[in-house]
Structure formats: structure tokens, C-alpha cells
Amino acid sequence: MSSLPDFALSECPAPAPAADTTRVGLIVPSSNTTMETELPELFRRQTEATGHRYTFHSARAGMRRVNPEELRAMVGKAADCAAAVSDADVEVIAYACLVAVMAQGPGAHIQAEAVIAKAAAENGRPAAVTSSAGALVRTLRSMGVRRVSMVTPYMRPLTQMVCDYVTGEGFEVVDAIALEVADNLAVGRLNPENLPEIARGLKRNGVDAVVLSACVQMPSLAAVQCVEDEIGVPVITAATATAFEIFFALGHRPAIKGAGSLLSGVWPRQAGSLAV
């Protein structure tokens, strides 16, 4: 009969004091497999640099296929998800589905963030709120970006809708490549090693930045730094922009290596609105 080996209590790592740990709440599609891996990896690198620790706590809203009907239904569940995740006493909540919000029409991130903030506050656990949709446009604005090219996993009509949304926020979309993957689980299986070659196909003349993944489900973290190094302009993703705003909401300066200049600390976040 096997038994557990003996060990000294001194061999167990001591937990960090509560004051050195921040809880982050996420609202993700039920089929999302990427945001809960890329964000913790980014914040693990932040912990390596600063010593501050972060934990992630998620609520899931049903969504399997990226189409208008399922996206609309997912947005309708935002308040319930916000109340549920706020029970974990998180300091910030990130609504992590860019296209679900943008599909609701111009400026929809403002309303979505307000709904989430209200639900958390009414649950007795107020928190700062961002969304991947709002984070993307606010981050581009705070970086002084005017012209941008993008890669999306969406079908062409949804990609055009994202382009129209970004254009409506005051940016010029020079080019957008649509990978046309409708199943959200399949989006999560896309190989980020293919992104450098895909990015080479973008029209980039005169762009101020490239959005390598306008979707938090499309894996991209492994490619961000190498694409930025190759093309010589800032490269961001929906996930890195969301992380950037989480840091801003917490008052923490990012110090992350290997994820693009945005999270390296060289781009100070300008004053702007986050829902509270």
C-alpha cells in the first residue's frame, strides 16, 4: 500500500500576504479556452518583475458559434455573470469577448461596461470594469494611434463590423485579414506560429499599430513580440489591451517582457474612463 512521502513543513512555499495579491474577475464565453491562459501568463510575468500576485476568477456565458444570435444572447447574460463573479470580491472585472460587444452597435462597450459595473455594485461588491472592446479602442487612443491594420478570426461580415466599429471610434482601418473561422472552439485551436506570416500579408504602409488578434479567443501571445520586432510598429491584441486596462484600473504599471512594447511599461496609460 502506497503512502504519501514525509516532508518538512518548511519545504512548502509560504503564501503571499493577502495585501500582495489582487483578484481579477473575467466574464468569458462558455467556449473560450484562451483568455484564461493568456492573461494569467501575462500576469505571471508581471509577478516575476514586481512580486505582486494576481488570481483570476471567471464567470461563463453560453456561446459556441460566433454569429449575431449567440453574441446577442451572450451580452444579455452580462449582468448575471457580473454579479456571480463579484461574489469573489474581485477588484476589477474584464468582459472578455470583443466581438459580442461590438456586434451590438456603435459605442456598445460603454453601455456593456455600465451594465456590469451596476450589477456588481448592486450585489454589494463594486469593482472597476473594462471590456476587451472598450480596452482595444481606448488603448489605441491612449497610444496616439490613428491608422491601424488588423487580423481577425471572424467571418468577413463580422470582420467588417469590427472594422466599422473601430472606424466609428475615430481610427482609420488600413487593412483587415479575416481568417473566417465560425466555431469558437476552433478559433482557440488556431496556431499562433502562423501569425507572423499572416501579418506579412497585411497592408501596413503608414500604420501606427497592428492589432494581431482582434479577438481574445484567437491565441496570439506567442507571436506578439516577434511580429512587433519584425514590422517595427507597436503590435497589440485584444488580450494585451485588456491586460493594459486591468493594470490601469489597479494603478499598477506593467513591466512584462516578451509581449510587445504596450505591456513593457513604455506606454503610460493616459487618463480616461473606466466604468466603476
Does 216 carry a binding-site annotation? yes
- Grid cell listed for 265: 511599461
Query: What does the pLDDT look like over 71-94, one tens digit per residue?
Result: 666 667 789 999 999 999 999 999
Domains of the chain: 21-134+240-263 (3.40.50.12500), 136-237 (3.40.50.12500)
pLDDT cut 90: percent of the chain above it: 72
219, 34 contact by CB (below 8 A): yes
Residues with a catalytic annotation lie at 97, 215
62, 100 contact by CB (below 8 A): no
Gap between the Cα atoms of 33 and 205, Å rounded: 34
pTM higher than 0.75 = yes
Does 99 carry a binding-site annotation? yes
Gap between the Cα atoms of 83 and 143, Å rounded: 32
Does 163 carry a binding-site annotation? no
Does 123 carry a binding-site annotation? no
Backbone angles phi, psi at 158, to 5 degrees: -70, -35
- Grid cell listed for 38: 493568456
Query: What does the pLDDT look like over 20-75, one tens digit per residue?
Result: 899 999 998 878 889 899 999 999 999 999 999 999 999 987 665 666 666 666 66
Backbone angles phi, psi at 49, to 5 degrees: -80, -35
**CA 179 and chain centroid, separation:** 19
Query: What does the pLDDT look like over 81-138, one tens digit per residue?
Result: 999 999 999 999 999 888 888 988 899 999 899 999 999 999 999 999 999 999 999 9
274, 249 contact by CB (below 8 A): yes
Gap between the Cα atoms of 54 and 150, Å rounded: 30
Does 224 carry a binding-site annotation? no
155, 187 contact by CB (below 8 A): no
